[in-house]
């Protein structure tokens, strides 16, 4: 991400755009992308911009997180009607936005920067609370599994995902028919009482991570072998043994440029 001094001279609104890193709790929202009805992350940010700048401003996100999915490192860009330092815009946005959405960084973007198309990869984490008793405090951010998971087997299954594959069995393309994606890294580890699945890819299908996780859990429970999990990549349909894990455990962590 290229940037200029936040206190430097401003260019005309139609000649520059800014890039922001946004963190949000997606529990109460119908996903990132604006909808005709219901609250969305994009809708709340655009409403805040309109209130601050008195102009309608469209934002573009790096990823369209689904209903109930969280983000620590969502990236957006937009071209605001604004003639003051961008640091002031960040403060103004955080003063107006709901408490479950925050702009944690905002800079002027470099020439040609696009939040979605300039991205090289995106990284998602899925958190599973793996203990006998559920946790009310973790309810919004982790899926509970009472039976102990075999993390070593799940990690071995994750290794099958790395590389370029047709992920038709695990999701739907946001547009078009191309279901081929490249997974750069996939791993599973136990972190305290939680099991965390981390997947980095050049792009993701809709529901891809959640469907992968649900089938990884079958591996961890001993109901699906690592070989059978790997064979899912060669299916010509989406009838996998498990549908999709709940949204609350999923978080968009980082977008890499």
Q: Which residues are catalytic?
A: 66
- Do β-strands 121-129 and 194-201 pair in parallel, antiparallel, or remain unpaired? antiparallel
Strands (E), 109-214: 121-129, 143-144, 163-166, 180-191, 194-201
Cα 207 to Cα 199: distance, rounded to the nearest angstrom: 13
Cα 5 to Cα 86: distance, rounded to the nearest angstrom: 9
Element holding 44 (H helix, E strand): helix 41-53
The vertex-40 CA angle with 37 and 43, nearest 5°, equals: 85
């Amino acid at each position: 991400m290229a940037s200029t001094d936040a206190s430097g001279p401003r260019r005309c609104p139609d000649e520059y755009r800014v890039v922001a890193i946004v963190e949000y709790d997606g529990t109460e929202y119908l996903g990132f992308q604006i909808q005709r009805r219901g609250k969305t992350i994009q809708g709340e940010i655009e409403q805040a911009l309109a209130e601050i700048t008195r102009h309608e401003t469209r934002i573009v996100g790096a990823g369209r997180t689904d209903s109930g999915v969280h983000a620590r490192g969502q990236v957006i860009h937009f071209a605001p009607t604004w003639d003051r330092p961008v640091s002031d815009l960040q403060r103004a946005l955080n003063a107006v936005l709901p408490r479950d959405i925050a702009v944690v960084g905002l800079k002027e973007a470099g020439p040609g920067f696009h939040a979605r198309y300039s991205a090289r990869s995106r990284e998602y984490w899925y958190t599973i609370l793996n203990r006998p008793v559920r946790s009310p405090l973790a309810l919004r951010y982790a899926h509970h599994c009472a039976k102990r998971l075999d993390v070593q087997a799940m990690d071995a299954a994750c290794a099958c995902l790395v590389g370029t594959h047709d992920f038709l069995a695990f999701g739907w393309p946001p547009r078009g028919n191309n279901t081929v994606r490249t997974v750069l890294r996939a791993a599973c580890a136990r972190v305290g009482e939680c099991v965390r699945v981390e997947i980095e890819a050049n792009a993701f299908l809709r529901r891809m991570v959640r469907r992968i996780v649900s089938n990884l859990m079958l591996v961890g429970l001993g109901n699906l072998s690592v070989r059978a999990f790997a064979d899912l990549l060669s299916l010509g349909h989406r009838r996998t043994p498990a549908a999709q894990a709940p949204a609350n455990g999923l978080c968009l962590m980082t977008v890499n440029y």
